[in-house]
Structure 1
Amino acid sequence: MGAAAVDDGPTGVKAPDGGWSWVVLCGCFVITGFSYAFPKAVSVFFKELIREFGVGYSDTAWISSILLAMLYGTGPLCSVLVNRFGCRPVMMVGGLFASLGMILASFATSIIQIYLTTGVITGLGLALNFQPSLIMLNRYFDQKRPLANGLSAAGSPVFLCCLSPLGQVLQYNFGWRGGFLILGGMLLNCCACGALMRPLEPPKKLVDQEEPSSKVVEKKKPKKKLLDFTVFKDRGFLIYTIAASIMVLGLFVPPVFVVSYAKDLGYQDTKAAFLLSILGFIDIFARPTCGIIAGLKWVRPRCVYLFAFAMVFNGMTDLVGSMSVDYTHLVIFCIFFGISYGMVGALQFEVLMAIVGTEKFPSAIGLVLLMEAMAVLVGPPSAGKILDATHRYMFVFMVAGCEVTLSALVLGFGNFFCIKKKPEEPTKEVAASPAESEQLKKPDEEEKRPESITVDSIEVEQFLKEDTEKNGEVNTNPETCV
Structure 2
Amino acid sequence: MGGAVGGGGPTGVKAPDGGWGWAVLFGCFVITGFSYAFPKAVSVFFKELMREFGIGYSDTAWISSILLAMLYGTGPLCSVCVNRFGCRPVMLVGGLFASLGMVAASFCRSIIQVYLTTGVITGLGLALNFQPSLIMLNRYFSKRRPMANGLAAAGSPVFLCALSPLGQLLQDRYGWRGGFLILGGLLLNCCVCAALMRPLVAAAQPGSGPPRSSRRLLDLSVFRDRGFVLYAVAASVMVLGLFIPPVFVVSYAKDLGVPDTKAAFLLTVLGFIDIFARPAAGFVAGLGKVRPYSVYLFSFSMFFNGLADLAGSTAGDYGGLVVFCIFFGISYGMVGALQFEVLMAIVGTHKFSSAIGLVLLMEAVAVLIGPPSGGKLLDATHVYKYVFILAGAEVLTSSLILLLGNFFCIRKKPKEPQPEVAAAEEEKLHKPPADSGVDLREVEHFLKAEPEKNGEVIHTPETSV
1:26 equivalent to 2:26? Answer yes
Query: 1:437 Cα deviation (Å)?
Result: 7.9
1:429 equivalent to 2:429? Answer no
What does the per-residue CA deviation read over 1:358-400, in whole Å, with 9 as the maximum and x for residues that have no partner?
Answer: 1111110000000000000000011001001110100000000
Question: Cα RMSD (Å) of the superposition?
Answer: 2.0
1:208 match: secondary structure: coil
Letter in 2 for 1:210: S
1:465 equivalent to 2:441? Answer yes
Q: 1:438 to 1:25 in 2, by over 3 A?
A: farther
Query: 1:321 Cα deviation (Å)?
Result: 0.5
In structure 2, how many angstroms separate the alpha carbons of the residues matched to 1:138 and 1:417? 28
> 2:280 maps to which residue?
289
Q: What percent identity do the matched residue pairs reach? A: 74
> Number of aligned pairs?
435
Which one of the candidate residues 252, 262, 271 is aligned to 1:280?
271
Q: TM-score, normalised by structure 1?
A: 0.87
Letter in 2 for 1:465: R
In structure 1, how many angstroms separate the alpha carbons of the residues matched to 2:415 and 2:9? 24
Q: 1:264 to 1:209 in 2, by over 3 A?
A: farther
> 1:354 maps to which residue?
345
Which one of the candidate residues 398, 401, 423 is aligned to 2:389?
398
In structure 2, how many angstroms separate the alpha carbons of the residues matched to 1:147 and 1:112? 42
Q: TM-score, normalised by structure 2?
A: 0.90
In structure 1, how many angstroms separate the alpha carbons of the residues matched to 2:278 and 2:322? 19
Query: 1:9 Cα deviation (Å)?
Result: 3.9
In structure 1, how many angstroms separate the alpha carbons of the residues matched to 2:301 and 2:220? 29
> 1:83 maps to which residue?
83
Residues 138 and 145 of structure 2 are in contact (CA less than 8 Å); yes or no, is this contact kept in structure 1? yes
> 1:300 maps to which residue?
291
> 2:144 maps to which residue?
144
1:154 equivalent to 2:144? Answer no
Residues 9 and 139 of structure 2 are in contact (CA less than 8 Å); yes or no, is this contact kept in structure 1? no
> 2:95 maps to which residue?
95
2:17 match: secondary structure: coil
After superposition, residues 406-421 of structure 1 pair within 5 angstroms as 406-420=397-411
The structure with more helix, counted as a fraction of residues: 1
> 1:449 maps to which residue?
none
Query: 1:210 Cα deviation (Å)?
Result: 2.5
Letter in 2 for 1:270: T
Q: 1:209 to 1:16 in 2, by over 3 A?
A: farther
Query: 1:11 Cα deviation (Å)?
Result: 2.5
Residues 8 and 82 of structure 2 are in contact (CA less than 8 Å); yes or no, is this contact kept in structure 1? no
Query: 1:419 Cα deviation (Å)?
Result: 1.1
> 2:121 maps to which residue?
121
> 1:198 maps to which residue?
198
Letter in 2 for 1:464: L
Structure 1 residue runs of 5 or longer lacking an equivalent are: 444-461, 469-482
Letter in 2 for 1:395: Y
Q: 1:224 to 1:357 in 2, by over 3 A?
A: closer
In structure 1, how many angstroms separate the alpha carbons of the residues matched to 2:427 and 2:136? 33
> 1:458 maps to which residue?
none
After superposition, residues 50-449 of structure 1 pair within 5 angstroms as 50-204=50-204, 207-211=205-209, 224-420=215-411, 425=416, 428-431=418-421, 433=423
What does the per-residue CA deviation read over 1:38-91, in whole Å, with 9 as the maximum and x for residues that have no partner?
Answer: 000000000000000000000000000000000000000000000100000000
In structure 1, how many angstroms separate the alpha carbons of the residues matched to 2:165 and 2:272? 14
Query: 1:224 Cα deviation (Å)?
Result: 3.9
Residues 139 and 349 of structure 2 are in contact (CA less than 8 Å); yes or no, is this contact kept in structure 1? yes
2:348 match: secondary structure: helix
Q: 1:390 to 1:424 in 2, by over 3 A?
A: closer
Residues 91 and 129 of structure 2 are in contact (CA less than 8 Å); yes or no, is this contact kept in structure 1? yes
